[in-house]
């Protein structure tokens, strides 16, 4: 049996993150409440450092390195928010960082990662295997690999967002969070079970890649091809060895959202809360629209995971000039 994280790990992560991660705001809107027939509490992780909750897991994981691991350095593979999260956490903790990123990553993301002092190693996403490159670098250079979701300290760190949400909002009837590889949702479930035991926990994943829903239904980790969706932070192909058993134990249901529903939710965030939310960050609200009738009158937490979207792409998506 693998060692699964518990709520104690989430609390310990919260202690490590104090003074390093932002305590992001919890937003409410009477207009949204009236529209959905609920009381909604939005945890706005788009205001987190690097613009997404992933800083929490990365900083927690790197904080637990031994002195030797710190000296040798960290390696991570990611085209998205985990890359910047590990790079910034490493810079703050004085750990050399190597980040494996696709050759065709947006220039802004490559620049942001290098801007945090990381060495970027690029690879061809069509012909090369990033996990193999990451493992090879780890072996050759003695680096410690920090994966994006299937890691005890990463899951515990991600759970601190829901912990703060529940501290502020009090007990809830439901908590809804996006689902990619399940690091966020597993951590969210651990915090929710401890602080609001009766609350139901829901995950929302892109309709184009419903491996999470199928995995819970079939009782095994289902693997899929990379899904085609605007939710680039949830294009994962399978849940993890650590995240799956936690989700199986704690999650009431996994819902899906289409790209068009994500754009709709992004528009609601802009109009109602005046916040820029990236497509993956809008998954929970898109799913909640479907859940609202069964939760009628309930108090519901929604995790907005990030706001990292190129401004031109954001404008095009909201303006309807990109296929959603």
Ligand X SMILES: *Cc1c(COP(=O)(O)O)cnc(C)c1O
Region binding ligand X by CB under 6 A among candidate stretches 109-117, 125-133, 173-181, 245-253: 173-181
Among residues 182, 209, 287, 298, the one that binds ligand X under rule CB under 6 A: 182
Positions 64 through 93 that interact with ligand X (CB under 6 A): 80-81
**Minimum CB separation from ligand X for residue 281, in Å?**
5
Q: Closest CB to ligand X among 263 and 298?
A: 263
206 binds ligand X (CB under 6 A): no
185 binds ligand X (CB under 6 A): yes
User: What is d(CA 93, CA 197) in angstroms, rounded to the nearest whole number?
Assistant: 35
Half-sphere exposure of 154 (CA within 13 A, CB side): 21
Interaction pattern, residues 12-51, with ligand X; x per rule: CB under 6 A: ----------------------------------------
Q: What angle do CA 44, 47, 53 make, to 5 degrees?
A: 75
Region binding ligand X by CB under 6 A among candidate stretches 90-98, 228-236, 290-298, 316-324: 228-236
Among residues 5, 157, 206, 233, the one that binds ligand X under rule CB under 6 A: 233
Strand partners, 306: 52
Residues for the chain: how many in total? 324
Positions 270 through 299 that interact with ligand X (CB under 6 A): 278, 280-281
183 binds ligand X (CB under 6 A): yes
Among residues 180, 209, 298, 301, the one that binds ligand X under rule CB under 6 A: 180
149 binds ligand X (CB under 6 A): yes
305 binds ligand X (CB under 6 A): yes
**Phi, psi (degrees; rounded to nearest 5) at 121:** -110, 120
147 binds ligand X (CB under 6 A): no
Cα–Cα distances (Å) from 151 to 100, 114, 148, 156, 264, in that order, read 18, 24, 8, 9, 33
Give burial (CB, 10 Å; 0-12/13-18/19+) of 181: buried
Q: Closest CB to ligand X among 236 and 298?
A: 236
157 binds ligand X (CB under 6 A): no
Among residues 13, 32, 44, 52, the one that binds ligand X under rule CB under 6 A: 52
123 membership: H or E segment, kind and range: strand 119-123
5 binds ligand X (CB under 6 A): no
Region binding ligand X by CB under 6 A among candidate stretches 7-15, 124-132, 176-184, 216-224: 176-184
Q: Closest CB to ligand X among 181 and 298?
A: 181
Q: Which two tokens stand for residue 136?
A: 């090879």
Strand partners, 7: none
Q: Closest CB to ligand X among 215 and 280?
A: 280
Q: Which two tokens stand for residue 189?
A: 């479930």
User: What is d(CA 210, CA 255) in angstroms, rounded to the nearest whole number?
Assistant: 8
- Number of shown-chain residues binding ligand X (CB under 6 A): 23
Q: Closest CB to ligand X among 298 and 301?
A: 301
Cα 89 off chain centre by: 16
162 binds ligand X (CB under 6 A): no
User: What is d(CA 250, CA 185) in angstroms, rounded to the nearest whole number?
Assistant: 10
Residue corresponding to tokens 């919890």: 26
Residues with Cβ within 8 Å of 18's Cβ and at least 6 positions away in sequence, in order, are: none
Residue corresponding to tokens 């994280």: 5
User: What is d(CA 144, CA 280) in angstroms, rounded to the nearest whole number?
Assistant: 28
Residues that bind ligand X (CB under 6 A): 52, 54, 80-81, 148-149, 158, 178-185, 233-234, 236, 278, 280-281, 305-306
């Amino acid at each position: 049996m693998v060692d699964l994280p518990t709520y104690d790990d989430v609390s310990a992560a919260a202690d490590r993150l104090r003074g390093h991660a932002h305590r992001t705001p919890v937003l409410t809107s009477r207009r949204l409440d009236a529209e959905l027939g609920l009381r909604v509490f939005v945890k706005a992780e788009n205001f987190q450092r690097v613009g997404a909750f992933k800083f929490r897991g990365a900083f927690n994981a790197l904080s637990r390195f031994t002195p030797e691991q710190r000296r040798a350095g960290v390696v991570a593979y990611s085209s998205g928010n985990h890359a910047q999260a590990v790079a910034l956490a490493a810079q703050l903790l004085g750990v050399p960082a190597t980040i494996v990123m696709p050759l065709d990553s947006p220039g802004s993301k490559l620049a942001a990662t290098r801007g945090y002092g990381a060495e970027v190693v690029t690879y061809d996403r069509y012909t090369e295997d990033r996990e193999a490159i990451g493992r090879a670098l780890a072996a050759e250079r003695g680096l410690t690999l920090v994966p994006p979701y299937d890691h005890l300290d990463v899951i515990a760190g991600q759970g601190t967002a829901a912990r703060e949400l529940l501290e502020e909002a009090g007990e809830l009837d439901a908590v809804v969070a996006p689902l990619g590889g399940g690091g966020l949702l597993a951590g969210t479930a651990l915090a929710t079970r401890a602080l609001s035991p009766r609350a139901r926990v829901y995950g929302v994943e892109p309709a184009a890649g419903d491996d999470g829903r199928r995995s819970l239904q079939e009782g095994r980790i289902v693997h899929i091809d990379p899904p085609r969706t605007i939710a680039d932070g949830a294009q994962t192909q399978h849940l993890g060895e650590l995240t799956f058993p936690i989700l199986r134990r704690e999650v009431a249901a996994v819902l899906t959202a289409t790209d068009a529903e994500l754009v709709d939710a992004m528009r609601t965030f802009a109009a109602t809360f005046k916040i820029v939310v990236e497509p993956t960050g809008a998954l929970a609200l898109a799913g909640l629209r479907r859940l609202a009738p069964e939760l009628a009158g309930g108090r519901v937490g929604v995790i907005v995971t990030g706001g990292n979207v190129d401004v031109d792409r954001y404008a095009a998506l909201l303006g309807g000039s990109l296929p959603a």
